[in-house]
Structure 1
Amino acid sequence: MTMQIKQTSQGAIAYCLASAADITPEWFDVEHWNKLSAVTGSSEGRYTTWFVKPCLDSSQNEAQTNKESEWVLRHYYRGGLVEKISKDKYLYTGLHNTRAVAELALLTQLYNEGFAVPKPIAANVERRGLQYRADIIIERVEGAQDLVAKLSKEPMSTVQWQQLGHCIAAFHQRGVYHADLNAKNILITEDKFHLIDFDRGEFRQPNAKWQGANLERLLRSFNKEKAKLPSLAFSESNWQSLMKGYSKP
């Protein structure tokens, strides 16, 4: 899988599907999918992420990954104090520096190397002078739920916690920095963990300082979710099991 770039009247689109050369900016607009009755759901956070079924008409069928897959459509929004000034506009310093294209490129590299990340589909950048807005489409991980949803219903086994630690260690050993490693950005299926949302992620030289900060951020997120939902199946012993798996060679 390779990432390709095509120019548009509004900016540029990066895409990873070899058969998606006819992709257009409207694919990144949820109204396009609403007209096709292809919106299957959404995820509510600070903003809405949309799930769509890419069952396009016959002229676009080649762009499908498979008939059962779903796509995740996410628009990039600012956070923190900057959000009050500009909700979704960023400074443009080059296409490959944009949040969407950088994330798509990172996902493509990791996916090609066999890491447990969502399959990258495409990214859209709309430029207005020195500013840009952006969107990304990835393939939804089939049968997955985030760890908060999982642990709110049932506990994970000691072996699963160790497997999670081993999964995170594999990313860290590769030098993958996840800017927002938290319990909601880790998905679990019947037999596998996936990391999602690599916005502002990057490859770094492996280093105990940033790796430790990554783990501390994850622990804070578990404790935060536990404070909101005391019945959440998370404890200090669970964390120790995770760290045991992380430390395994």
Structure 2
Amino acid sequence: MQIKQTSSGAIAYCDATPETISVPWFTFDYWQSQGAITGSSKGRYTTWFVKPNMAETDKSEWVLRHYYRGGLMEKISKDSYFYTGLKNTRAVAELSLLELLYSEGFEVPRPIAANVERNGLYYRADIIIERVEGAQDLVAQLSKSPMSDLQWQQLGACIAKFHQRGVYHADLNAKNILITPDKFYLIDFDRGEIRTPNPKWQGANLERLLRSFRKELAKLPTLAFNETNWQSLMQGYSNP
């Protein structure tokens, strides 16, 4: 990872990122002016998909995400965080973790860059990652068609691989898992970290995921998920 100082803070970027990267790259207005906005994903806030290279032969897209607070702190400050050093910022920490995992061959998006803009004791931040081609989140998949027992087992084995490495995902839920025709990916590693493997936090991770499946099922009763599916996932997790 390399660091580029800016007038308002700093940009951290990975080796494959062009050194021409600048602060405007982290804004919707810049990509809109380039005619490069290709879509969006709407949750509590909007995440933008952009096409950085307009060449017809290049199909890669980037995902631009701004960091927003949640919970009670959101009422105090929507997107401002206390600054304790560049490496401790949520954007740079996530980029660093993704860079490590990607280099080790884990199923995560390729990291591109992170932007940190300081204002006194506080900062705001953004991150750019590469969009996983041909992927959709698990809720979208299960709302249309079921997965086989083998796929559920493969998902369990995928999660086990991360846990065995000590990867703690702070928000492991069904929407933060992507599925492609041949594998699963984990996304959104905000507040994630490498920990010593331990059944306590690993079990809590899995319980959070199960709660998310049940929550999505309550919202959409036709969702292709049941307790037998979860048992298959756990079978794959226990025997990766």
Q: TM-score, normalised by structure 1?
A: 0.94
Residue among 152, 163, 176 paired with 1:172: 163
The equivalent residue for 1:89 is 80
SS where residue 80 of structure 1 aligns?
A: coil
Q: CA deviation at 1:17?
A: 3.7
In structure 1, give the amino acid aligned to 2:29. E
The equivalent residue for 2:64 is 73
C-alpha separation between the residues in 2 aligned to 1:133 and 1:122? 15
C-alpha separation between the residues in 1 aligned to 2:168 and 2:16? 28
2:214 is the alignment partner of 1:223: yes
Residue among 211, 216, 224 paired with 1:233: 224
Q: CA deviation at 1:74?
A: 0.1
Q: CA deviation at 1:18?
A: 3.9
4+ long deviations beyond 3 Å: none
SS where residue 135 of structure 1 aligns?
A: strand
Q: Which runs of 5+ in 1 are unaligned?
A: none
SS where residue 37 of structure 1 aligns?
A: coil
CA contact (8 A) 2:155 2:233 kept: yes
In structure 2, give the amino acid aligned to 1:25. V
> In angstroms, what is the RMSD of aligned CA positions?
1.1
Q: CA deviation at 1:141?
A: 0.3
The equivalent residue for 2:101 is 110
The alignment of Structure 1 onto Structure 2 pairs a total of residues equal to 239
The equivalent residue for 2:177 is 186
C-alpha separation between the residues in 1 aligned to 2:118 and 2:232? 46
Q: CA deviation at 1:19?
A: 5.0
C-alpha separation between the residues in 1 aligned to 2:231 and 2:224? 14
Q: CA deviation at 1:130?
A: 0.6
The equivalent residue for 2:39 is 41
In structure 2, give the amino acid aligned to 1:23. I
Deviations 1:77-97 (A, max 9, x none): 000011011000000000000
In structure 1, give the amino acid aligned to 2:26. F
Q: CA deviation at 1:112?
A: 0.0
Residue among 93, 118, 133 paired with 1:142: 133
In structure 2, give the amino acid aligned to 1:29. T
Deviations 1:88-142 (A, max 9, x none): 0000000000000000000000000000000000000000111000000000000
C-alpha separation between the residues in 2 aligned to 1:216 and 1:160? 19
The equivalent residue for 1:214 is 205
In structure 1, give the amino acid aligned to 2:22. T
Q: Which runs of 5+ in 2 are unaligned?
A: none
In structure 2, give the amino acid aligned to 1:235. N
The equivalent residue for 1:152 is 143
In structure 2, give the amino acid aligned to 1:224. K
C-alpha separation between the residues in 1 aligned to 2:16 and 2:230? 42
C-alpha separation between the residues in 1 aligned to 2:224 and 2:94? 31
The equivalent residue for 1:101 is 92
Q: CA deviation at 1:20?
A: 1.4
C-alpha separation between the residues in 2 aligned to 1:79 and 1:219? 21
The equivalent residue for 2:25 is 27
Deviations 1:143-193 (A, max 9, x none): 000000000000000000000000000000000000000000000000000
Q: How does 1:49-60 map to 2 (within 5 A)?
A: 49-55=47-53
SS where residue 153 of structure 1 aligns?
A: coil
